[in-house]
A and B are shown apart, each in its own frame.
Chain A
Amino acid sequence: AQKITQTQPGMFVQEKEAVTLDCTYDTSDPSYGLFWYKQPSSGEMIFLIYQGSYDQQNATEGRYSLNFQKARKSANLVISASQLGDSAMYFCAMRGPRFSGGYNKLIFGAGTRLAVHP
């Protein structure tokens, strides 16, 4: 069965510094997708970045980058130059197994609450 693990319930970082949020996954499907979402206190889920299992390079989107280590089954999110507005919950998610018909379903980790301090 597929599983996403986020072991850091809470993290804090100083403004303008970089922070890494951990995510490990487990799947037997050779083809999968990994996503990171941000959920501010308002509740909406904001798509940040995507990494495909066959992508040769680590994904980057502005200040967000994904440190994808396939052999270790990890997909850590790196936020550079943290801003106060980055304070939120962050969820790692994996696209469901294709063979089950749930290819587009997302399996979410427990989340990490990030607090950015001035």
Chain B
Amino acid sequence: GAVVSQHPSRVICKSGTSVKIECRSLDFQATTMFWYRQFPKQSLMLMATSNEGSKATYEQGVEKDKFLINHASLTLSTLTVTSAHPEDSSFYICSALGQEYNEQFFGPGTRLTVL
């Protein structure tokens, strides 16, 4: 299957700093990527849809200025959590849209802890 990587896998930062998470499709081109957030023992919550060359589409309730998404190439999308606070601590997972069934291939996730 297709491979999607995420970097970093874990990050711990101080409150008020910004954190950038990268999502890469390693062996295929992805015009569409997705960013999810997952709280402990809960399901995935879609935050935004990232489209190469255009602005991201955010889900209702997700702050655009807080969670900046850039899809600069067909293999890379980045999520920047700006001015992070402890309530932003979570598991962030990206996915890239496949071609066969329009299935989503997920990255390994990034665990963000804001102190």
Contacts and interface: CB of A to CB of B under 8 A. Distances in A.
Contacts of B102: 33, 95, 103-104
B77 to A, nearest CB: 14
Contact of B104 (A102, A106, A111): A106
B34 interface: yes
Nearest to B102: A104
Nearest to B45: A108
A35 interface: yes
Contacts of B111: 43
A108 B91 contact: no
Interface string A16-58: 0000000000000000010101000011111100101000000
B73 to A, nearest CB: 19
Contacts of B75: none
A111 B40 CA distance: 12
A43 B97 contact: no
A96 B42 CA distance: 20
A68 interface: no
Contacts of A50: 101, 103
A4 to B, nearest CB: 9
A78 interface: no
Given A104-B97, A105-B34, A47 B104 contact: yes
Report which residue of A35, A44, A46, A109 has the largest number of chain B beta carbons within 10 angstroms of its beta carbon: A44
Q: List 4 A-B pairs, minimum CB-CB distance, nearest first.
A: A45-B106, A43-B109, A44-B108, A50-B101
5 contacts: A44-B106, A45-B104, A47-B103, A47-B106, A104-B32
Given A33-B102, A43-B93, A104-B49, 11 more contacts: A33-B101, A45-B44, A45-B93, A45-B104, A47-B1, A47-B105, A104-B32, A104-B102, A110-B42, A110-B43, A111-B43
